[in-house]
């Protein structure tokens, strides 16, 4: 396998493509056991499921999305897992008072009465994928998720979604954030690619304009994470929790990379988005300038608004988004510099992130590239790594389900 120092090792190298296909299979196999709803539980480092830990909406919906894509790529076993997950979302997670429960205990009872836009964004994405994959009750899942977002979360005046609501759709805190809205952007694009409904594309662009063009561009393409109730940037939020899983203090280079990919996806459908190329390039450049460790490799977790490192851990989802963004930029711009970054990212991932003994990818490394678990214990996530290994197979910016259906 050619990994180091080979100038001919490019995104479309046949040997690399062969490796990516095998890695996709290996990642899915980590979730082969156990059967039933336990498959959707939190996994430890060895792949075993923590039977005492509650099930979470975002995590279960991500797996449905990934397994649905796998079915479209010919894995019927994964298709069975996806169908199993759709049933789970439409039974245990459905709340008759509205929307989906965010967290349920192992016995299926609710853990919290709040509704979170983050989890609902992934339920919508899972629904769009389920329909494209031809899964039973996929349309029902999509409809339920769409209805919940429209009725509980979407603020059309703001052009964004609130983060947390009660079952009646009333906000339960003054916090507003970009993370859930970024994932809603991905889900809206998937729904547009499925249905052709202009409203989905319109919402995706409105979100990009709010959080990237208005929020990040004036700050040198550093993406503000946290906002007040009036949608003003809150640069102090999270100072006491700098390594939080979802709301850490400061700026997250990984989200700039994720937005870079999403911006290109919007522009692929909306040529009038004239600042898309500038934004995608600016976000990527800022992320690697602030986040990439020239000595040890890897993209750091968080910085402040001046680029100083706050959290030096390396999260697997960040390098996964770096891989995807570099592919999409290389394809859309023709700039070989992005292919060079892709090589560099994969070289580091191959050396440090892929766990060839225990399976899957290490979800967190420390600044010296050693496995850690301060923020992310275990290996519960397939979504980021799986999409990363599929990225090089995409010939144009598109949602992964749409690409699996038409191009891959």
In this model, does residue 4 exceed pLDDT 80? Answer: no
Whether residue 9 is contained in a domain is answered as no
Contact 213, 159 (CB under 8 A): no
- What are the pLDDT digits (tens) for 18-56? 999 999 999 999 999 999 899 999 999 999 999 999 999
Query: pLDDT band at residue 113, thresholds of 50, 70 and 90?
Result: confident
Whether residue 5 is contained in a domain is answered as no
If one compares 5 and 59, the residue with the highest pLDDT of the two is 59
Helices (H), 44-178: 57-72, 76-89, 117-132, 138-148
What is the domain count for the chain?
1
Q: Which residues pair with 309 in a beta bridge?
A: 303
SS3 343: helix
Contact 37, 88 (CB under 8 A): yes
pLDDT > 90 fraction of the chain, expressed in percent and rounded? 88
Query: pLDDT band at residue 127, thresholds of 50, 70 and 90?
Result: very high
Q: Which residues pair with 161 in a beta bridge?
A: 154
In this model, does residue 1 exceed pLDDT 60? Answer: no
Rg of the chain taking only CA atoms, in angstroms: 20
CATH number at residue 263: 1.50.10.10
Whether residue 305 is contained in a domain is answered as yes
Whether residue 6 is contained in a domain is answered as no
- What are the pLDDT digits (tens) for 289-329? 999 999 999 999 999 999 999 999 999 999 999 999 999 99
Write out the two tokens for 277: 């190329």
Torsion of CA 83, 89, 94, 99, to 10 degrees: -110
In this model, does residue 362 exceed pLDDT 80? Answer: yes
- What are the pLDDT digits (tens) for 147-177? 999 999 999 999 999 999 988 888 999 999 9
Whether residue 364 is contained in a domain is answered as yes
pLDDT of residue 115: 92
Nearest to 141 by CA among 184, 83, 59, 222: 83
- E strands, 114-236, are 115-116, 154-155, 160-161, 164-165, 176-177, 226-227
In this model, does residue 7 exceed pLDDT 50? Answer: no
Q: What is the mean pLDDT of residues 197-212?
A: 98
Query: pLDDT band at residue 107, thresholds of 50, 70 and 90?
Result: confident
In this model, does residue 408 exceed pLDDT 90? Answer: no
* Phi and psi angles of residue 293, each rounded to the nearest 5 degrees, phi first: -95, 105
Across the chain, what does the average pLDDT equal? 94
Instruction: From the candidates 269, 316, 384, 405, give the one annotated as an active-site residue.
Output: 384
What does the alpha-carbon distance between residue 50 and residue 34 come to, in Å, rounded to a whole number?
11
Q: What is the mean pLDDT of residues 331-352?
A: 95
Report the 10 Å Cβ neighbour count for 374: 10
Write out the two tokens for 32: 């082969």
In this model, does residue 245 exceed pLDDT 50? Answer: yes
Q: What is the mean pLDDT of residues 237-252?
A: 93
Contact 302, 310 (CB under 8 A): yes
Query: pLDDT band at residue 407, thresholds of 50, 70 and 90?
Result: low
DSSP H/E element including 56:
strand 55-56
Whether residue 68 is contained in a domain is answered as yes
What does the alpha-carbon distance between residue 112 and residue 294 come to, in Å, rounded to a whole number?
43
Instruction: From the candidates 255, 316, 352, 405, give the one annotated as an active-site residue.
Output: 255
Give the list of residues 6+ apart from residue 250 with CB closer than 8 angstroms, or none. Answer: 225, 238, 242, 302, 303, 304, 305, 310, 311
pLDDT of residue 397: 85
pLDDT > 70 fraction of the chain, expressed in percent and rounded? 97
Q: What is the mean pLDDT of residues 5-29?
A: 83
SS3 115: strand
Whether residue 131 is contained in a domain is answered as yes
- In the annotation, is 363 catalytic? no
Whether residue 7 is contained in a domain is answered as no
Quote the DSSP letter at residue 362: -
- In the annotation, is 65 catalytic? no
Contact 360, 388 (CB under 8 A): no
Give the list of residues 6+ apart from residue 277 with CB closer than 8 angstroms, or none. Answer: 267, 332, 333
pLDDT of residue 282: 98
pLDDT of residue 9: 53
Domain range holding 131?
14-406
If one compares 142 and 96, the residue with the highest pLDDT of the two is 142
């Amino acid at each position: 396998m050619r990994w180091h120092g080979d100038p001919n090792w490019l995104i479309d190298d046949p040997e690399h493509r062969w490796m990516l296909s095998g890695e996709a299979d290996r990642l899915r196999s980590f979730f082969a056991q156990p059967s039933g709803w336990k498959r959707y539980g939190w996994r430890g480092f060895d792949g075993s499921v923590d039977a005492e830990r509650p099930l979470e909406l975002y995590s279960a919906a991500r797996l449905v999305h990934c397994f649905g894509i796998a079915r479209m790529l010919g894995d019927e076993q994964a298709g069975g897992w996806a169908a199993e997950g759709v049933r789970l979302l439409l039974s245990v997670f459905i709340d008759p008072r509205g929307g989906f429960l965010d967290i349920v205990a192992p016995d299926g009872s609710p853990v919290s009465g709040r509704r979170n836009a983050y989890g609902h964004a992934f339920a919508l994405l899972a629904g769009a994928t389920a329909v494209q994959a031809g899964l039973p009750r996929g349309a029902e899942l999509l409809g339920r998720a769409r209805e919940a977002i429209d009725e509980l979360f979407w603020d059309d005046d703001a052009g964004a979604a609130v983060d947390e609501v009660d079952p009646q759709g009333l906000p339960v805190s003054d916090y507003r954030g970009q993370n859930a809205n970024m994932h809603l952007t991905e889900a809206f694009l998937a729904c547009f690619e499925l249905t052709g409904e202009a409203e989905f594309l319109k919402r995706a662009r409105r979100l990009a304009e709010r959080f990237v063009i208005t929020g990040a561009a004036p700050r040198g393409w550093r993406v503000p994470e946290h906002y007040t109730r009036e949608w003003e940037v809150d640069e102090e939020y999270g100072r006491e929790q700098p390594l939080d899983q979802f709301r850490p203090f400061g700026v997250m280079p990984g989200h700039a990379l994720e937005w870079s990919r999403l911006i290109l996806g919007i522009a692929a459908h909306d040529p009038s988005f004239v600042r898309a190329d500038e934004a995608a390039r600016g976000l990527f450049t800022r992320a690697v300038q602030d986040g990439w460790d020239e000595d040890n490799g890897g993209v750091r977790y968080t910085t402040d608004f001046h680029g100083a490192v706050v959290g030096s851990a390396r999260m697997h989802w960040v390098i996964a988004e770096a891989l995807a963004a570099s592919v999409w930029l290389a394809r859309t711009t023709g700039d070989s510099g992005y292919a060079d970054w892709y090589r560099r990212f994969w070289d580091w991932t191959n050396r440090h992130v892929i766990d060839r003994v225990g399976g899957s990818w290490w979800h967190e490394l420390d600044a010296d590239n050693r496995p850690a678990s301060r923020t992310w214990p275990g290996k519960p996530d397939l979504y980021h790594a799986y999409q990363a290994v599929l990225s090089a197979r995409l010939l144009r910016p598109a949602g992964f389900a749409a690409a699996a259906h038409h191009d891959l």
